[in-house]
Amino acid sequence: MTDLFKEKARDWDVNELVKELSCAIGAAINANVALDESMHVMDFGAGTGLITAQVADRVGKVTAVDVSEAMLEKLAEKQGLGNKVEILCRNILEKPVDNQFDLIVSAMAMHHVEDTGKLLQRFAEHLKPGARVALADLDEEDGTFHPPEAQGVFHTGFNRDAFRGLLEKHGFTDVDFVTAHTVSKEGKRYSIFLALASLPVR
């Protein structure tokens, strides 16, 4: 598989928009999810670990999952994450992880996955009963957030009601949305949601 983020990985962490988004989404996760040292968290689409770094010191372990080797190499170079972070280069839609998690977080990765329903199904399969998701991505937009030449972008954001319906279809309950951030870019404003939901305790 072609690594679409190979070139971007070099300067990813110094990109002002990326830093702004990551800080805001990390803050929204920390404000809306009760994290503790007993938790094993999956960071889906972890990239260079900008979200992982914001939750790792508050949980027991983070498994950082991405399909981009170049991005994960940048994560692996980072100091201070200690033994808390496991790095996994894998497409979980094709090859699930042999673990169940207390929480799955994701920041701006879902629009890069064509089959959103299958992704949410995989999330449900990877969670313990009573576990949660905290998923951040673009609200539905007019297609101008990404440049026209951007590859691997399958969705121009998500409609919250439709996304709620998909979560509920795959067994999630207590679905809620908060606005994590609003991006100002080239005279337009794009809102970023954080979707929160739980799996029932069976």
- For the chain, the domains span 8-198
**pLDDT higher than threshold 90 for residue 77:** no
Q: Which of 2-11, 69-78, 141-150, 171-180 reaches the highest mean pLDDT?
A: 171-180
Whether residue 80 has pLDDT greater than 60: yes
Per-residue pLDDT band for 1 (boundaries 50, 70, 90) equals very low
CA–CA gap between residue 191 and residue 158 (Å, rounded): 11
Q: Considering the domain delimited by 8-198, tell me its CATH architecture.
A: 3-Layer(aba) Sandwich (3.40)
Q: What is the CA radius of gyration of the chain?
A: 16
pLDDT (0 to 100) of residue 7 = 61
pTM attached to this predicted model:
0.93
pLDDT digits (tens, 9 = 90+) for 85-139: 999 999 999 999 999 999 999 999 999 999 999 999 999 999 999 999 999 999 9
| Mean pLDDT of the residues in the chain | 91
Q: How confident is the model at residue 2 (pLDDT cuts 50, 70, 90)?
A: low
